[in-house]
Amino acid sequence: MPLVLCPTSLPMSTPAQPDIPASEQVPLETARRPALLLAAAAGVAWAVAIGMLATGFVEPAQPLLAPPRVLFAILTLGAGLLTFVPLQVQLRVPGLAFEGLAGSFLLLHVLAFVPPPTGWLLWLPDTPVYVVLAAALFWSVSAIAIWPIHVAGTRIFRQRARQYDLRRARRQAHEVGVLAALCVGLAGLRVLTPVGVGLLALILVVAELLFLSFVETETSPL
């Protein structure tokens, strides 16, 4: 009778794995520490800058190089860099840092140093104020919205290609930014109402559904 060997009786070999010295192993908490420090620094910079804006520490009557204005500019630049540069590196979306930095810097400086418009959108002295405010909101809101949209997409969509589609996430973030900019236009035309905002949101939702139906996906490298 031939000898039959049971497969379980054979010694199982495991591939050799390189031994990592204990001194070179980096704990998870240590690896996350730089990111936590960056987030904390960005939060402090945003809090101080918004606090200066809310308390009237900076105002249009101050000279251009007054210490409060210089400090406010440094804080807004630092907060934007600490927030949007790591976000661009994480998502690998070109131009995201520029949009977030330019939009947040412009938005805070418009709110701090530009007198609010007193006329409507088509009144020429106030038209540039509405245009600059709309552009600042578009950039800043688009840059802020891309991260929650990307995270939500990984949970809503079932297809992996849709979940990690960079073009989809950025397009939808831009649509949120467009909605914010259009709200400035409605306010300038004195027709900003919940119904008007809802109609604009509905138009953007329908447009996005058409994009999802006809535009191919682009997978994120994450």
Same domain, 166 and 64: no
In a domain, 21, yes or no: no
Query: Does the pLDDT value for residue 73 go beyond 60?
Result: yes
Is residue 72 within 8 A of residue 49, CB to CB? The reply is: yes
Same domain, 86 and 121: no
Is residue 102 within 8 A of residue 87, CB to CB? The reply is: no
Residue range(s) defining the domain that contains residue 136: 115-222
| Percent of the chain topping pLDDT 70 | 82
Same domain, 88 and 148: no
Residue 211 CA: distances (Å) to CA of 205, 214, 216? 10, 5, 9
User: What are the residues facing 165 on neighbouring strands?
Assistant: 219
Give me the number of domains the chain comprises: 2
Query: Does the pLDDT value for residue 2 go beyond 50?
Result: no
What number is the average pLDDT over the span 61-84? 91
The pLDDT confidence band at residue 27, using thresholds 50, 70 and 90, is: low
Is residue 141 within 8 A of residue 183, CB to CB? The reply is: no
**What is the reported pTM?**
0.78
- What mean pLDDT value characterizes the chain? 82
Q: Which two tokens stand for residue 171?
A: 């397009």
